[in-house]
Amino acid sequence: MSHVYVAGSINQDVTVRVERRPRPGETVPGESAALGLGGKGANQAIASARSGASVELIGKVGDDRFGAELLADLDAEDGLSTEYVHYTEAASTGVALITVDSDSENAIVAVPGANGALAPEDLSDVDVTDDAVALSQFEVPQPTIRAFFETARSQGARTILNPAPADDARDDLLEIVDYLIVNETEAQFYSDADPDGHLSTPELVEMAADLRAHHEQVVVVTLGEAGVFASTPSETITLDAYAVDPVDTTGAGDAFVGAFATALGDGTALREALDVGSAAGALATTEAGAAPSLPTRAAIQERRQED
């Protein structure tokens, strides 16, 4: 069994389904509203656990009702430990406001809250095993991620960074990332490409070369319906997407990252690990919500066998 450590955000998601999102100053009727567990850290930790990994989640929540309820939800997940999740009275639990329109596309406003207070010293007692995968995202401070990755690498673990939401990335962080995973929008941000266009394979190759912070780094770009692209120092990999009828794209990227991390921890070769992630991401779009849509290992295997 693979062992995955995730340092990341834990949010209370508030999801509203609408026919269309409102323009400035406009009020539109919503079709439904739901509260749920979210945050890219929590989502990717759950995705890793459901896809078969033993997972340690490292994070911070507020000393409030949301924090207590979210920790209870996380503790109910098989294979996921919250031993390294801390309470703080200095900030409220993070909140994400999510709208999902009739095309199943989402737009999100995230309030960091306690996630922004996760500090390097909160990781001082984390003991990363030498065969593990260490995973993080940009919903917690970059200095904390760097401290986490430095510890993980010193103990022989591989590191995965999903620099989302897109933000200026510190060079001293990118230099200790083994696998860099972005979606197409984030790839356009980090490469200064046209945000309204789609990246061709030659453009993706060039972008990956520009993004690669050290010679051994693998750059992965998830492309939604267009599949997935990966660039290593020695090869380029492109995979088609799994065909699905999407209901809600929220959590699809986190499903990919979590399942990919599990597959790597299992010793799976890169191309197959990308395919595992792709199947997980596709399945996550077929159910509403973030955490509820994250697929199990059995579901991922069944989907891969269908094609």
Domains of the chain in sequence order: 3-306 (3.40.1190.20)
Express as a percent the part of the chain with pLDDT over 70: 98
Task: Choose among 271, 262, 247, 229: nearest CA to 47.
Answer: 262
Contact 98, 111 (CB under 8 A): no
Residue 278: its pLDDT value, please?
A: 98
Contact 295, 280 (CB under 8 A): yes
122 is catalytic: no
Provide the whole-model pTM. Answer: 0.93
pLDDT < 70 stretches in the chain? 193-196
Residue 106: its pLDDT value, please?
A: 80
H-assigned helices in the chain: 40-50, 65-75, 142-154, 171-174, 184-191, 201-211, 252-265, 270-284, 297-306
Task: Choose among 269, 151, 279, 294: nearest CA to 218.
Answer: 269
pLDDT tens track for 116-142: 999 999 998 999 988 999 999 999 999
Residue 193: its pLDDT value, please?
A: 67
Catalytic residue among 122, 248, 254, 275: 254
Residue 29: its pLDDT value, please?
A: 94
Beta strands, E only, 89-176: 94-100, 106-111, 133-137, 158-162
